[in-house]
A and B are shown apart, each in its own frame.
Chain A
Amino acid sequence: MSAPPPLRIRGLSVGYPSDHGPIQAVREVDLDVAAGEFLGIVGESGSGKTQLLLSILGLSAPRAELCGSIRYREQELIKLEVAALNQVRGNRISMVFQDPMTALNPYLRVGRQITEVLQVHRNVSIREAERRAIEMLESVRIPDAARRLRQYPHELSGGMRQRVMIAMALIAEPEILLADEPSTALDVTVQAQILSLFQELRARTGTAIVLVTHDLGVIAEVADRVAVMYAGRIMEQAPVHELFAHPRHPYTEALQQSIPRIDAPRSTRLASIGGTPPNPAALPAGCAFAPRCIYRLPICDSVAPPLLEIRPEHWKACHHEGELGKLRGEAA
C-alpha cells in the first residue's frame, strides 16, 4: 500500500433516540476508502448502509448521535462546523441519491442546479460554468445537452434525471463519489447503462466510488471490494472475487445462495434465511445474525464477534472457524 486512504472511518456509531428506546443504526464501523477504488456496500433495509453514507457528509438527522471518527485526509468530519463541512461536501466528496426526483429541485432548471456547484466551489463565471455543465452532461451521455440545461426535472425521464444527478455530483471533480442505490428505481436496461457509466467515469477521472445497494448482482458487476452490512455492523469485507468465491460469513453465504440466477439452470428451491431481520431497538446481546444463523455457537448469543482479518484484506466478524458450505449442500 502506497498512499494512505483518503477516507478513514474508525469506530463509527450512529444512534437515534426513538419511542422504543435508542436505535443504533450504525455500530462500530471501521472502513477505508482507497483512492480510485470501487467499493460496494451491500445490506438489506435497516442494515445501516444508508445511514453510514449520510454520516460521512454530515447529513444524519439533527438528533442523531455520532461517535467515532470519520477522517477525510487530515480533517475530522464529525462535529465539523457547517462552513468547513461545505468545503468538503459537493466538492471533494459528493453524493448521488436513490430517487433523483426528490433530490433535484423541481423549481429550478437543470442547468442552474448543475452550475451552482461550480459557482459555490470554484468561483467561475456563469458562462464558463455553463460550458462545463454542457461538457459534463455530454460525458454522462445526455444527448442535446445545451437544450437539456434549460429544462426542468419533470421534463426528463427517470434515467435522464439520474444522469443529471451524476453530472452534478461529478462536476467539481470530487475525490470520492458516494452513491446510495443509484440504479434501484430504474429499469434493468437503464440500470445497466448507469452502472457502465460509473465504471467509465471512474476509469477516466480516477474518482473513488462507494456504491450502496441491496443487490449482490450489482456488486458483482462493478465493485472491486465489498463490505457486507447487517444490523449496523460490517459482517464481512473482502475483494469482490474472494468474497463471492470464498464467503466466510454465514450471512454472506446465505445472501448469495438465496438469490435466483438467470445464468444457471432452474433450481426447485432457493436456500432461504429463516426468520426476519432484528428489531434495531432491541438488538441481541451477541451477534445480531445469531438467531437466524445455521452455524450458531453458544458464544454467539452473548459475545458480538469483532471484525478480524482472516486473510490479507479479508475481514469477517464471526465466531465460526473455517469453511462454510452447509447451505450449498442444502440447495443442490
Chain B
Amino acid sequence: MSSAPPITPAQAGAGPLLAVRDLSVNYRVAYRRGHALLHAVNAVSFDLARGETLGLVGESGSGKSTIARALLRLVPATSGVALFHGSDLLQLSGGRLHTMRRRLQLIFQDPLASLDPRMNIGDILDEPLRVFEPQLPRPQRLQRVLAVTRAVGLGSEHLHRFAHEFSGGQAQRIVIARALIIEPELIVCDEPLSSLDVSIKSQISNLLKDLQRQLQLSLLFISHDLAAVRFSCDRVLVLYLGRVMEIAGCDVLFRACRHPYTRALISAAPIPDPVAARARRRVPLEGEIPSPLFAPSGCVFRTRCPMAIERCASEIPLLRQVGDSLVACHRAEELAS
C-alpha cells in the first residue's frame, strides 16, 4: 500500500507539473423563459507529474473535455486554481499567457479538422516556430521541422503536401508533430484515437507512448475507451456529471476499483475474446447519464447506482482514500474485489 494519496502521482519528487484545485466550470444556459446554471465541472482536483499520463474517463456529458478546455483557457473557468510552474493558468493574461501556451499543447479528436486545408504540411509545422521562436533563422527552423517529421514517422517528401492528401492516421501524426515542435511539457489529448481505424489506432497509441517516454512529456489523456486508457495511462480519473468519482493508479483501478460507477464502466467495455467476454459477470447500468441541469441531490450517480441507499440522496460523498484509491462513495469499503 502506498502512503502518498493518489490525488498526487506516486513518484512525486519536486512537486507536480500541474496542480488543479477545486476547478469548476458553469455555463448560463437559456431555460424555459429565463436562465439556468449548468455545472459542467464541479470542484475537480488533481495533480499531474512530469512524464506522467493521466487518463480522464467518463461518459459524454461527464465534463472531461470541459476540464481540458478550461485548463487551456478555451472556456472560462468559474472558480479554482491550476498551478503550472508556480503561476495560476486560470489567471494569466496577455504576454504571460502567450509564454505559457508554448508549454501546453493539444491534440484533438479529428485530425483533418485541426489542420488548415490551405497550408502545406511544411508551413503548418513551421508556424508554431514562427510564433514562438521568431528569432530562429529559416534553415534552423527547417531542420527542426524535418526532425519532428521523422520523429512521428513521416518523411521530408510529405512537407509539400496538403492535409487532404493524407489518411486519418497520417494526419494525426502531423497534428502530433505540430504539438511537439515547440517542445511543450504538457499535451492535452482529447480523444486522440477515436476517429482512427483499428489498424491505425495501435500505430498512433504506440507512437504517443514512445514520444511521451523519450521526451518525458506529461499527457492529459481524455478518452471514452477504457482499454486505450489502460494501455496509455499511469493513473486514471473517473468523472460523472462533472464530479470526480475515483482517482487511482491504472493497475489498481482495473484490478480493484472502489466506485460502483467505475465498476460499471469496466464491465460495460467490450473484451475482444468471446470466452472471457461471455464468462464475466456483468453489472449492467440502467438508464443514461442525466442532464447536468438536473443533477441528482447528494451523490450525482445515485439514480443509476445499484448500491444506492438513503444516505446517498442526502449527503454528497467526499473524495477520500480507501485502499489505494481516492474515491467518492459512501459504500466504497464494500466494493473490495
Contact = CB atoms under 8 A, between A and B. Distances in A.
Interface of A: 44-45, 157-160, 187-193, 196, 214-221, 240-241, 244-245, 254-256, 258-263, 265-274, 276-277, 292
Contacts of B42: none
Interface residues of B, number: 46
A260 B273 CA distance: 12
Contact of A217 (B202, B206, B272, B284): B272
18 contacts: A187-B59, A189-B285, A192-B270, A192-B284, A196-B284, A220-B273, A221-B270, A221-B271, A259-B198, A259-B202, A261-B227, A261-B273, A262-B230, A266-B231, A266-B250, A266-B251, A268-B209, A277-B167
Given A192-B284, A260-B227, A241 B275 contact: yes
Given A159-B288, A187-B60, A262 B224 contact: no
Nearest to A223: B274
B288 A187 contact: yes
B276 interface: yes
Interface pairs A-B: 4 shortest CB-CB: A217-B270, A260-B231, A258-B202, A192-B268
A92 B205 CA distance: 43
Interface in B195-225: 197-203, 205-206, 209, 224
A218 B170 CA distance: 27
Nearest to A224: B274
A217 B271 contact: yes
A272 B198 contact: no
A219 B170 CA distance: 28
A273 B226 CA distance: 21
A267 B272 CA distance: 16
A193 B231 contact: no
**Among A187, A190, A269, A292, residue most surrounded by chain B Cβ atoms (within 10 Å):** A187
Contacts of B197: 44-45, 214, 277
A216 B198 contact: yes
Contacts of B59: 187-189
B274 A260 contact: no
B277 interface: yes
Contact of B224 (A187, A215, A255, A265): A187
Interface in B246-278: 250-251, 254, 264-278
B271 to A, nearest CB: 5
